[in-house]
Structure 1
Protein backbone atom coordinates (compact mmCIF):
# COMPACT_ATOMS: atom_id res chain seq x y z
CA UNK A 1 0.00 0.00 0.00
CA UNK A 2 2.82 2.38 0.87
CA UNK A 3 4.55 1.66 -2.47
CA UNK A 4 1.26 2.39 -4.26
CA UNK A 5 0.95 5.79 -2.53
CA UNK A 6 4.54 6.70 -3.41
CA UNK A 7 3.98 5.68 -7.03
CA UNK A 8 0.76 7.70 -7.17
CA UNK A 9 2.53 10.80 -5.79
CA UNK A 10 5.33 10.44 -8.35
CA UNK A 11 2.79 10.16 -11.19
CA UNK A 12 0.97 13.31 -10.03
CA UNK A 13 4.30 15.15 -9.72
CA UNK A 14 5.30 14.13 -13.27
CA UNK A 15 1.91 15.16 -14.64
CA UNK A 16 2.28 18.53 -12.93
CA UNK A 17 5.75 19.06 -14.41
CA UNK A 18 4.49 18.22 -17.89
CA UNK A 19 1.74 20.80 -17.53
CA UNK A 20 4.12 23.54 -16.39
CA UNK A 21 5.74 24.00 -19.78
CA UNK A 22 2.56 24.79 -21.70
CA UNK A 23 3.04 25.20 -25.43
CA UNK A 24 6.20 23.87 -27.10
CA UNK A 25 8.93 26.28 -28.12
CA UNK A 26 8.80 27.52 -31.72
CA UNK A 27 12.08 27.11 -33.56
CA UNK A 28 13.09 28.37 -36.99
CA UNK A 29 16.38 28.70 -38.86
CA UNK A 30 17.32 32.39 -38.96
CA UNK A 31 20.55 32.00 -40.94
CA UNK A 32 23.56 29.94 -41.96
CA UNK A 33 27.21 31.00 -42.00
CA UNK A 34 30.04 28.85 -43.39
CA UNK A 35 32.96 27.97 -41.11
CA UNK A 36 36.42 26.65 -41.87
CA UNK A 37 36.16 22.85 -42.20
CA UNK A 38 38.68 20.23 -41.19
CA UNK A 39 39.73 17.65 -43.76
CA UNK A 40 36.69 16.61 -45.80
CA UNK A 41 34.18 17.81 -43.22
CA UNK A 42 31.97 20.81 -43.83
CA UNK A 43 31.15 23.13 -40.94
CA UNK A 44 28.74 25.99 -40.54
CA UNK A 45 27.00 28.03 -37.88
CA UNK A 46 23.24 27.76 -37.80
CA UNK A 47 21.32 30.60 -36.20
CA UNK A 48 18.15 29.43 -34.52
CA UNK A 49 15.34 31.77 -33.57
CA UNK A 50 13.69 30.33 -30.46
CA UNK A 51 10.27 31.75 -29.55
CA UNK A 52 8.73 31.08 -26.17
CA UNK A 53 4.89 31.33 -26.28
CA UNK A 54 4.61 30.67 -22.54
CA UNK A 55 4.28 32.74 -19.38
CA UNK A 56 7.54 31.44 -17.86
CA UNK A 57 11.09 32.06 -19.13
CA UNK A 58 13.19 29.12 -20.34
CA UNK A 59 16.73 29.12 -18.95
CA UNK A 60 19.33 27.00 -20.74
CA UNK A 61 22.98 26.11 -20.24
CA UNK A 62 23.84 24.26 -23.42
CA UNK A 63 22.36 23.36 -26.79
CA UNK A 64 22.46 20.20 -28.87
CA UNK A 65 21.20 20.02 -32.45
CA UNK A 66 20.64 17.35 -35.12
CA UNK A 67 19.81 18.16 -38.76
CA UNK A 68 18.31 15.51 -41.04
CA UNK A 69 17.86 15.87 -44.81
CA UNK A 70 15.69 13.49 -46.82
CA UNK A 71 15.09 11.47 -43.64
CA UNK A 72 18.83 10.82 -43.23
CA UNK A 73 21.21 12.19 -40.59
CA UNK A 74 23.17 15.06 -42.14
CA UNK A 75 24.77 17.31 -39.50
CA UNK A 76 25.00 17.66 -35.73
CA UNK A 77 26.44 20.09 -33.24
CA UNK A 78 26.61 21.22 -29.64
CA UNK A 79 27.31 24.49 -27.87
CA UNK A 80 27.89 25.37 -24.23
CA UNK A 81 26.10 28.69 -24.79
CA UNK A 82 23.79 29.69 -21.96
CA UNK A 83 21.01 32.20 -21.68
CA UNK A 84 17.30 32.76 -21.26
CA UNK A 85 14.42 32.76 -23.69
CA UNK A 86 12.13 35.31 -22.01
CA UNK A 87 8.45 34.71 -21.35
CA UNK A 88 6.50 35.59 -24.50
CA UNK A 89 9.83 36.47 -26.07
CA UNK A 90 12.53 35.14 -28.33
CA UNK A 91 16.26 34.62 -28.56
CA UNK A 92 18.72 33.81 -31.35
CA UNK A 93 21.14 30.98 -30.58
CA UNK A 94 24.18 30.12 -32.72
CA UNK A 95 25.21 26.46 -32.90
CA UNK A 96 28.19 25.18 -34.95
CA UNK A 97 27.24 22.11 -37.02
CA UNK A 98 29.55 19.55 -38.57
CA UNK A 99 28.67 17.63 -41.74
CA UNK A 100 30.73 14.43 -41.96
CA UNK A 101 32.19 13.73 -45.43
CA UNK A 102 30.14 10.56 -45.95
CA UNK A 103 26.88 12.33 -45.07
CA UNK A 104 27.64 15.02 -47.66
CA UNK A 105 28.44 12.43 -50.35
CA UNK A 106 25.30 10.42 -49.53
CA UNK A 107 23.13 13.55 -49.82
CA UNK A 108 24.82 14.59 -53.08
CA UNK A 109 23.93 11.22 -54.65
CA UNK A 110 20.37 11.39 -53.29
CA UNK A 111 20.02 14.95 -54.58
CA UNK A 112 21.34 13.99 -58.05
CA UNK A 113 18.86 11.11 -58.36
CA UNK A 114 15.87 13.02 -57.03
CA UNK A 115 13.04 14.03 -59.33
CA UNK A 116 12.14 16.84 -56.91
CA UNK A 117 15.59 18.40 -56.68
CA UNK A 118 14.15 21.77 -55.63
CA UNK A 119 12.34 20.50 -52.48
CA UNK A 120 14.42 18.70 -49.87
CA UNK A 121 12.61 17.70 -46.66
CA UNK A 122 14.48 18.62 -43.49
CA UNK A 123 14.02 18.12 -39.77
CA UNK A 124 15.88 19.87 -36.95
CA UNK A 125 15.75 18.26 -33.51
CA UNK A 126 17.41 19.77 -30.51
CA UNK A 127 17.48 20.32 -26.80
CA UNK A 128 18.12 23.33 -24.61
CA UNK A 129 19.85 21.85 -21.56
CA UNK A 130 19.08 22.94 -18.02
CA UNK A 131 16.07 23.59 -15.88
CA UNK A 132 14.22 21.31 -13.50
CA UNK A 133 13.37 18.62 -16.04
CA UNK A 134 16.88 18.50 -17.52
CA UNK A 135 16.02 20.57 -20.57
CA UNK A 136 13.51 21.50 -23.22
CA UNK A 137 13.29 19.64 -26.51
CA UNK A 138 12.29 21.24 -29.80
CA UNK A 139 11.60 20.17 -33.40
CA UNK A 140 11.23 22.04 -36.68
CA UNK A 141 10.63 20.55 -40.09
CA UNK A 142 9.78 21.64 -43.61
CA UNK A 143 11.22 21.68 -47.10
CA UNK A 144 14.28 23.46 -48.40
CA UNK A 145 13.65 25.06 -51.78
CA UNK A 146 16.88 25.18 -53.69
CA UNK A 147 17.25 27.19 -56.90
CA UNK A 148 17.29 24.87 -59.91
CA UNK A 149 17.67 27.52 -62.61
CA UNK A 150 21.22 27.46 -63.92
CA UNK A 151 22.01 24.12 -62.24
CA UNK A 152 20.64 22.03 -65.08
CA UNK A 153 22.28 23.95 -67.92
CA UNK A 154 20.93 26.52 -70.42
Structure 2
Protein backbone atom coordinates (compact mmCIF):
# COMPACT_ATOMS: atom_id res chain seq x y z
CA UNK A 1 0.00 0.00 0.00
CA UNK A 2 1.44 3.33 -0.98
CA UNK A 3 1.50 6.36 1.28
CA UNK A 4 -1.27 8.23 -0.58
CA UNK A 5 -3.67 5.29 -0.28
CA UNK A 6 -2.90 4.89 3.41
CA UNK A 7 -3.58 8.62 4.02
CA UNK A 8 -6.95 8.43 2.22
CA UNK A 9 -8.05 5.40 4.23
CA UNK A 10 -6.94 7.02 7.49
CA UNK A 11 -8.84 10.22 6.67
CA UNK A 12 -11.95 8.20 5.76
CA UNK A 13 -11.78 6.33 9.06
CA UNK A 14 -11.40 9.58 11.04
CA UNK A 15 -14.36 11.13 9.17
CA UNK A 16 -16.52 8.05 9.84
CA UNK A 17 -15.75 8.19 13.58
CA UNK A 18 -16.45 11.93 13.67
CA UNK A 19 -19.82 11.53 11.94
CA UNK A 20 -20.77 8.64 14.24
CA UNK A 21 -19.89 10.81 17.24
CA UNK A 22 -21.98 13.72 15.98
CA UNK A 23 -24.94 11.41 15.46
CA UNK A 24 -24.70 10.34 19.09
CA UNK A 25 -24.54 13.96 20.23
CA UNK A 26 -27.63 14.88 18.27
CA UNK A 27 -29.60 12.14 20.01
CA UNK A 28 -28.52 13.34 23.43
CA UNK A 29 -29.03 17.00 22.61
CA UNK A 30 -32.59 16.27 21.47
CA UNK A 31 -33.65 15.31 25.01
CA UNK A 32 -35.80 17.52 27.20
CA UNK A 33 -33.88 18.78 30.25
CA UNK A 34 -34.45 17.09 33.59
CA UNK A 35 -36.69 18.85 36.07
CA UNK A 36 -35.10 18.91 39.50
CA UNK A 37 -36.68 20.40 42.62
CA UNK A 38 -35.25 20.81 46.08
CA UNK A 39 -37.71 18.94 48.31
CA UNK A 40 -35.92 18.86 51.64
CA UNK A 41 -32.83 19.70 53.66
CA UNK A 42 -31.90 17.88 56.86
CA UNK A 43 -28.84 18.26 59.11
CA UNK A 44 -26.04 15.67 59.08
CA UNK A 45 -23.08 15.36 61.48
CA UNK A 46 -20.19 17.65 60.46
CA UNK A 47 -16.55 18.27 61.36
CA UNK A 48 -15.39 21.31 63.33
CA UNK A 49 -17.00 24.46 61.94
CA UNK A 50 -18.36 22.68 58.88
CA UNK A 51 -22.09 22.12 58.49
CA UNK A 52 -23.32 19.05 56.63
CA UNK A 53 -26.74 18.75 55.03
CA UNK A 54 -28.74 15.97 53.42
CA UNK A 55 -30.15 17.66 50.32
CA UNK A 56 -33.17 15.83 48.92
CA UNK A 57 -33.96 16.26 45.24
CA UNK A 58 -36.97 15.17 43.21
CA UNK A 59 -35.74 14.37 39.71
CA UNK A 60 -38.33 14.15 36.92
CA UNK A 61 -37.52 12.75 33.49
CA UNK A 62 -39.86 14.16 30.78
CA UNK A 63 -38.29 11.94 28.10
CA UNK A 64 -39.39 8.68 26.53
CA UNK A 65 -36.15 6.94 27.46
CA UNK A 66 -34.93 6.19 31.00
CA UNK A 67 -31.88 8.03 32.33
CA UNK A 68 -29.16 5.84 33.83
CA UNK A 69 -26.93 7.66 36.31
CA UNK A 70 -23.76 6.77 38.21
CA UNK A 71 -23.42 9.70 40.55
CA UNK A 72 -24.82 13.14 41.27
CA UNK A 73 -23.07 16.45 41.93
CA UNK A 74 -24.66 19.73 42.98
CA UNK A 75 -23.95 23.34 43.93
CA UNK A 76 -26.38 25.41 45.97
CA UNK A 77 -26.08 29.21 45.79
CA UNK A 78 -27.99 31.51 48.14
CA UNK A 79 -28.21 35.23 47.49
CA UNK A 80 -25.86 34.97 44.53
CA UNK A 81 -23.07 33.38 46.58
CA UNK A 82 -21.91 29.81 46.91
CA UNK A 83 -23.48 28.16 49.95
CA UNK A 84 -23.20 24.36 49.72
CA UNK A 85 -21.79 21.72 47.41
CA UNK A 86 -22.13 17.97 47.38
CA UNK A 87 -21.58 14.71 45.56
CA UNK A 88 -23.09 11.26 45.83
CA UNK A 89 -21.92 8.00 44.27
CA UNK A 90 -25.54 6.80 44.12
CA UNK A 91 -26.38 4.76 41.03
CA UNK A 92 -29.78 4.21 39.55
CA UNK A 93 -32.26 5.12 36.89
CA UNK A 94 -34.92 7.78 36.44
CA UNK A 95 -37.64 6.00 34.44
CA UNK A 96 -39.03 7.38 31.20
CA UNK A 97 -41.78 9.89 32.08
CA UNK A 98 -41.04 9.10 35.72
CA UNK A 99 -39.38 10.50 38.80
CA UNK A 100 -37.20 9.57 41.73
CA UNK A 101 -36.07 11.21 44.97
CA UNK A 102 -32.33 11.32 45.71
CA UNK A 103 -30.38 12.34 48.79
CA UNK A 104 -27.05 14.11 48.24
CA UNK A 105 -24.83 14.91 51.24
CA UNK A 106 -23.57 18.50 51.00
CA UNK A 107 -20.99 20.58 52.85
CA UNK A 108 -21.48 24.18 53.95
CA UNK A 109 -18.37 26.11 54.95
CA UNK A 110 -18.36 28.22 58.10
CA UNK A 111 -17.68 31.28 55.91
CA UNK A 112 -20.84 30.70 53.89
CA UNK A 113 -22.89 30.56 57.09
CA UNK A 114 -21.24 33.75 58.42
CA UNK A 115 -22.01 35.61 55.16
CA UNK A 116 -25.68 34.63 55.35
CA UNK A 117 -25.99 35.50 59.07
CA UNK A 118 -24.44 38.93 58.47
CA UNK A 119 -26.88 39.54 55.62
CA UNK A 120 -29.82 38.66 57.87
CA UNK A 121 -28.55 40.60 60.89
CA UNK A 122 -27.98 43.76 58.86
CA UNK A 123 -31.63 43.72 57.86
CA UNK A 124 -30.65 44.42 54.27
CA UNK A 125 -31.99 41.16 52.96
CA UNK A 126 -35.46 39.71 53.21
CA UNK A 127 -35.41 38.04 49.81
CA UNK A 128 -32.98 35.39 48.77
CA UNK A 129 -32.46 33.92 45.34
CA UNK A 130 -31.70 30.23 45.60
CA UNK A 131 -30.03 28.49 42.67
CA UNK A 132 -29.51 24.74 42.50
CA UNK A 133 -27.38 23.38 39.69
CA UNK A 134 -25.67 20.10 39.10
CA UNK A 135 -25.30 17.03 36.95
CA UNK A 136 -26.61 13.50 36.93
CA UNK A 137 -23.43 11.73 35.81
CA UNK A 138 -23.75 8.71 33.61
CA UNK A 139 -22.50 6.63 30.74
CA UNK A 140 -21.99 8.16 27.33
CA UNK A 141 -21.39 11.89 27.05
CA UNK A 142 -21.31 12.54 30.78
CA UNK A 143 -24.89 12.59 31.94
CA UNK A 144 -27.48 15.30 32.17
CA UNK A 145 -27.10 18.78 33.70
CA UNK A 146 -29.88 20.36 35.73
CA UNK A 147 -30.67 23.78 37.16
CA UNK A 148 -33.48 25.12 39.31
CA UNK A 149 -34.03 28.58 40.79
CA UNK A 150 -36.40 30.03 43.36
CA UNK A 151 -36.88 33.19 45.38
CA UNK A 152 -37.51 32.98 49.10
CA UNK A 153 -38.90 35.90 51.08
CA UNK A 154 -38.52 35.75 54.83
CA UNK A 155 -41.49 36.96 56.86
CA UNK A 156 -40.95 40.18 58.83
CA UNK A 157 -41.87 38.35 62.06
CA UNK A 158 -38.89 36.05 61.61
CA UNK A 159 -36.58 39.05 61.36
CA UNK A 160 -37.97 40.68 64.54
CA UNK A 161 -39.79 43.49 62.77
Please indicate the TM-score interval, normalised by the length of the shorter structure: 0.7 to 0.9
Contact 2:119–2:125 at 8 Å: present in 1 too?
A: no
Write the mapping of 1:1-154 to structure 2, written as runs, cut at 5 A. 3=11, 6=14, 10=18, 13-14=21-22, 16-20=24-28, 21-113=30-122, 115-117=124-126, 119-153=127-161
Alpha-carbon offset, residue 145 of structure 1: 2.9
Shift of 1:11: 5.8
Q: Given the two structures, how large is their TM-score scaled by the length of structure 1?
A: 0.85
> Which shifted more, 107-116 or 5-14?
5-14
Other structure's SS at 1:87 match: coil
Give unmatched runs, 5+ long, in structure 2.
1-7
Higher helix share: 2
Larger radius of gyration: 2
Q: CA deviation at 1:47?
A: 0.6
Q: How many residues align?
A: 152
Q: 1:14 to 1:88 in 2, by over 3 A?
A: same
TM-score normalised by length of structure 2: 0.82
Partner SS for 2:159:
coil
Q: Deviations over 1:63-109 (max 9, x none)?
A: 11111111111101111111100000001000011100011111222
The CA deviation string for residues 14-67 of structure 1, in whole angstroms up to 9 with x for no partner, is: 364243351100000111111122211111111100000001100111111111
Where does the alignment leave 5 or more consecutive residues of structure 1 unmatched?
none
Quote the RMSD (CA, aligned, Å): 2.3
Q: Secondary structure at the match of 1:126?
A: strand
